[in-house]
Structure 1
Amino acid sequence: MDDQSHVLVVDDDTETLTLLREILSKEGYDVGTAMDGKSALDHINNRVPDLVMSDIHMPDLDGMALLAELRHRHQDVPVILMTAYGSLKTAVDGLRSGAFDYLSKPFIVDDIRLVVRRALEHKNLSRQNQALKEQLRSRYRFDNLVGSSPGIVSVYKSIARVAHTDSTVLLQGESGTGKELIARAIHANSARSAGPFVAVDGGSLAETLLESELFGHERGSFTGAVATKKGLLEKAHMGTCFLDEVADLTPALQGKLLRVIQEREIRRVGSTSPMTVDVRIIAASKKDLDQLVRAGTFREDLFYRLNVVTINIPPLRERVEDIPLLTQYFVQMYGGKKSPPVTGIAPEAMALLTRYWWPGNIRELEHAIERAIALTPHPVIFPEDLPQSIQTATVQAAAQARGWVTLAELEKDHILRVLEAHNQDLGRASAILGIHRKTLLRKLRHFGFPC
């Protein structure tokens, strides 16, 4: 945060102006004052402030009217409304009209410092959003896939290479790493893109139901089969069938799937006539199929048929530098649906996200951001908006879960802890760490933080 951020305080009470000027000047801000809304607009015409603090009740142009004018002229300038106890409802109305926050009189000095700091962080984040959006549109995206870490870029290269072939693909990765999104990206970039994409979870249904879902059935083939039904493999003709959790297929279904891949034929339940299908299989598993083959629980011949091209998807903990991009992607996805919209995330909240272990991977991150947006009263997500499990996660716990860590990981964890302990003050953090401020900024950029 810029130590010389310009704050404009607007109030028709000279004692309030004097008090706030004194408090904010001690915090290192450049403070301007105005006695009414019209004077404030004259000030803004000459110099646009980084933050406006305005009383609600003033003669001529009051705080609400000033807020409306600022939203029209300078949407990125945060506004903090100040109010006496009896007009809190008006302040809440102001928040709905786009104010960042409000302070009630008489003031609590610590509240002033905290709200002003957060408002200026929001201002800085707004400036960073455009750069992040450009990164999201960069060559490191396939539709809804986001990231630029070495691990995920390797996945993108594999998608590009395999998409234009008709080879069977095996996706290996933990739950929540985006296996279906990657399967959809392969399909969308293939010659089959005009055909259907059909997804089925191999572990979600009982064997009898799954066989009927995959292969279809003839009328009367079993109790309840009142009509002939196409199976998902038949529906995927001329397209792609994504078979998730293929490791959970029973031995009988594994054999039938093998015949589909080898002979390009299916047979509906209750039918004696085979049916030709032209379908590409993309299989996925969170379990190591090679280990299951050695354990005798997965067919070796099917494994070799599926393992023509294998793409290993890294867990989120191995692509920490992608967390800021993914987070902003989800903020854009969900934040715009809220009124007023949520447009960013505070640095201390981002620090918590990058320290967390993410056992649920990208799916867990998405749910955490969606929840935070639903709960936060501000345009920016703060640490207290995040799930408790993320707030209380420590570097030590993450290190224990990872086992031995590299010196680079230890350095990153230590830097983020120092910044968090000192309210993201780059000057104090660099002094404590014994490095130049520019060196600290360079390291933060390397970690994936927009600086």
Structure 2
Amino acid sequence: MPDPPRILVVDDDADTLLLLEEILTKEGYRVRTAEHAEAALSLASQEEPDVVVTDIQMPGMDGLALLAELQRRLPQTLVVLATAFGSLKTAVDGIKAGAFDYLGKPFVVDDIRLVVRRAIEHKRVINENAALREQLKERYRFDNFVGSSAGMIAVYKMIARVAQSDSTVLIQGESGTGKELVARAIHANSLRSAGPFVAVDAGTLAESLLESELFGHERGSFTGALTTKKGLLERAHSGTCFLDEIADISPTLQSKLLRVIQEREIRRVGGSDPISVDVRILAASNKDLKGLVDAGKFRGDLYYRLNVVTISIPPLRERADDIPLLAQFFAQKYGAAQGKPAIGISADAMDLITKYVWPGNVRELEHVIERAVVLTPHPVIFPEDLPEALREKPIADSQPRSGWVTLDQLERDYILRALAAHQQDQAKTADLLGIHRKTLQRKLRKYGLAEAGAIEEGSTADEAAVEQEESI
């Protein structure tokens, strides 16, 4: 079990020290106290507290001077200033000088809990960011790749093995897994790295346009062909051509592509003379090409020419250990772009991110983190900064790994989804479910989704209605 967070409270008033010590100890923190700044510095040098809560107005060294000294000696320690409401300007000056937050006197207990909890969370993120940055430096990876899971290490090793050869490579993986990144890594680590890397998405172009894009065309070969144009295969001469979504090209183009691989030559649309090309072909697909061959929808001879080496990229759901690294990598990337270079991710938000299924894989994760970085007003991404789909409790969390789900589990998940759809409004949710509000509250208690004491008791008439409803 990790050590509890360390809090140092500094105030020249003994009653205030006792109050804060009692409140924060009940929150699970390890609390030390000091009656003046000099004693606080001595304790801080010994224990390096995570957070210091200090009064501003103290005899001798005041809270602002203590803040400055702590920043010099222990820059990772966060400082919360406490001051009377009449001196809030001094507290604001302290924030500008680097304090994390301030508390007004007389204290509001909930404010103390909230501010210190936020400070501890921020400190945790700072520590986690430092650890993640080290992992990002030390992990086994290629440029633009993030991940140290067994599946990704296998991909890295395959890239390293095939990069120096000139063989065709088939890259397989779901949409959003990073197939083009793999192709670019192969090219960058190959003997052709000084040559061009040309990419084309075969799934986005009509057959006639794709043929012209790949092979080029002669002037006058079709309406609008006002000049002779080199195709992508010709422009990739001495380099690499990456053909994404290869399964979507027509049988006619499959035949022409097979000739390119076998003969190393092309013919432009409308042309008759062969043109030699020295190009390495890398192909990718999110479909099962072998299955398409068996179904007669893809040429077997082309498949075997492309499938000299296959690299299969695991989907994100099979490399869950990489998700925190990826999320923090994208937070740093887009944080820097938005002028928020130190942005982090809270534990609750990271838990939601890690548990989400990610049908869109790494691309979807990247977009979600970019959105959160843009929207959050804080230096930390919290659950409320994430899309609603991530904040809903995943069905997989409440179901067993295999076998049938119980009715209680189904009901629990359905209630959670209904509450989320109605912003936790119990009255609206109960109306949607066709049950009395008190019945909903009982079920929330039953499934551990609400504290029984936090739900107000209804009238005798309410209880009678519930009993009648539940007896039906």
Range into which the TM-score falls when normalised by the shorter chain: 0.7 to 0.9
Encode CA deviations 1:127-151: one digit per residue, 9 max, x unaligned. Answer: 3444433332335211122222222
Measured in 2, the distance between the counterparts of 1:128 and 1:256 equals 53
Structure 1: which 5+ residue stretches go unaligned?
406-451
Structure 1 partner of 2:303: 303
Amino acid of the residue matched to residue 288 of structure 1? Answer: D
Shift of 1:281: 0.9
Measured in 1, the distance between the counterparts of 2:218 and 2:85 equals 73
Alpha carbons of 1:42 and 1:336: their partners in 2 closer, same or farther (altered >3 Å)? farther
Structure 2 partner of 1:26: 26
Q: Matched residue of 1:174: which SS?
A: coil
Do 1:96 and 1:339's aligned partners in 2 also have CA atoms closer than 8 Å?
no
Structure 2 partner of 1:126: 126
Q: Matched residue of 1:203: which SS?
A: helix
Moved more, 271-280 or 29-38: 29-38
Structure 2 partner of 1:437: none
Q: Matched residue of 1:137: which SS?
A: helix
Alpha carbons of 1:184 and 1:340: their partners in 2 closer, same or farther (altered >3 Å)? closer
Encode CA deviations 1:203-259: one digit per residue, 9 max, x unaligned. Answer: 122222222222222333333333332222122111111111111112222222122
Amino acid of the residue matched to residue 177 of structure 1? Answer: T
Alpha carbons of 1:339 and 1:74: their partners in 2 closer, same or farther (altered >3 Å)? farther
Q: What are the within-5 Å matches in structure 2 for residues 51-62 of structure 1?
A: 51-54=51-54
Q: Matched residue of 1:175: which SS?
A: coil
Structure 1 partner of 2:162: 162
Shift of 1:22: 2.5
Structure 2 partner of 1:284: 284
1:392 aligned onto 2:392: yes
Do 1:3 and 1:29's aligned partners in 2 also have CA atoms closer than 8 Å?
no
Measured in 1, the distance between the counterparts of 2:87 and 2:220 equals 72
Measured in 2, the distance between the counterparts of 1:235 and 1:309 equals 24
Measured in 2, the distance between the counterparts of 1:341 and 1:265 equals 49
Which structure has the higher relative contact order (CA within 8 Å, separation 6+)? 1
Encode CA deviations 1:101-159: one digit per residue, 9 max, x unaligned. Answer: 55566654344324423422432443344443333233521112222222222212211
Structure 2 partner of 1:152: 152
Structure 1 partner of 2:318: 318
Alpha carbons of 1:255 and 1:31: their partners in 2 closer, same or farther (altered >3 Å)? same
Moved more, 200-209 or 333-342: 333-342
Shift of 1:392: 0.9
Do 2:164 and 2:191's aligned partners in 1 also have CA atoms closer than 8 Å?
yes
1:381 aligned onto 2:409: no
Moved more, 158-167 or 67-76: 67-76
Alpha carbons of 1:192 and 1:85: their partners in 2 closer, same or farther (altered >3 Å)? farther
Structure 1 partner of 2:220: 220
Alpha carbons of 1:267 and 1:91: their partners in 2 closer, same or farther (altered >3 Å)? farther
Shift of 1:85: 7.1
Measured in 2, the distance between the counterparts of 1:134 and 1:323 equals 16
Measured in 2, the distance between the counterparts of 1:87 and 1:206 equals 70
Measured in 1, the distance between the counterparts of 2:293 and 2:148 equals 34
Structure 2 partner of 1:355: 355
Measured in 2, the distance between the counterparts of 1:208 and 1:94 equals 67
Q: Matched residue of 2:225: which SS?
A: coil
Structure 1 partner of 2:195: 195
Do 2:368 and 2:386's aligned partners in 1 also have CA atoms closer than 8 Å?
yes
Shift of 1:18: 4.5
Measured in 2, the distance between the counterparts of 1:196 and 1:367 equals 29
Structure 2 partner of 1:6: 6
Amino acid of the residue matched to residue 236 of structure 2? Answer: A
Report the identity percentage: 67
Do 2:4 and 2:30's aligned partners in 1 also have CA atoms closer than 8 Å?
yes
Measured in 2, the distance between the counterparts of 1:403 and 1:229 equals 59
Shift of 1:182: 0.9
Amino acid of the residue matched to residue 333 of structure 2? Answer: M
Do 1:168 and 1:308's aligned partners in 2 also have CA atoms closer than 8 Å?
yes
Do 2:139 and 2:147's aligned partners in 1 also have CA atoms closer than 8 Å?
no
Amino acid of the residue matched to residue 229 of structure 1? Answer: K
Encode CA deviations 1:404-441: one digit per residue, 9 max, x unaligned. Answer: 99xxxxxxxxxxxxxxxxxxxxxxxxxxxxxxxxxxxx
Measured in 2, the distance between the counterparts of 1:232 and 1:311 equals 24
Moved more, 103-112 or 289-298: 103-112
Shift of 1:282: 0.8
Alpha carbons of 1:246 and 1:6: their partners in 2 closer, same or farther (altered >3 Å)? same
Q: What are the within-5 Å matches in structure 2 for residues 4-153 of structure 1?
A: 4-10=4-10, 17-33=17-33, 44=44, 48-54=48-54, 70-71=70-71, 73-81=73-81, 99-103=99-103, 107-138=107-138, 140-153=140-153
Alpha carbons of 1:178 and 1:142: their partners in 2 closer, same or farther (altered >3 Å)? same
Shift of 1:350: 2.3
Amino acid of the residue matched to residue 184 of structure 2? Answer: R
Which structure has the bigger radius of gyration? 2
Structure 2: which 5+ residue stretches go unaligned?
406-472
Measured in 2, the distance between the counterparts of 1:256 and 1:78 equals 66
Q: Matched residue of 2:171: which SS?
A: strand
Shift of 1:370: 2.1
Amino acid of the residue matched to residue 357 of structure 2? Answer: W
Encode CA deviations 1:356-400: one digit per residue, 9 max, x unaligned. Answer: 111011111122222222233333333232222111132536858
Do 1:51 and 1:77's aligned partners in 2 also have CA atoms closer than 8 Å?
yes
Measured in 2, the distance between the counterparts of 1:103 and 1:300 equals 72
Measured in 2, the distance between the counterparts of 1:26 and 1:228 equals 79
Moved more, 374-383 or 98-107: 98-107
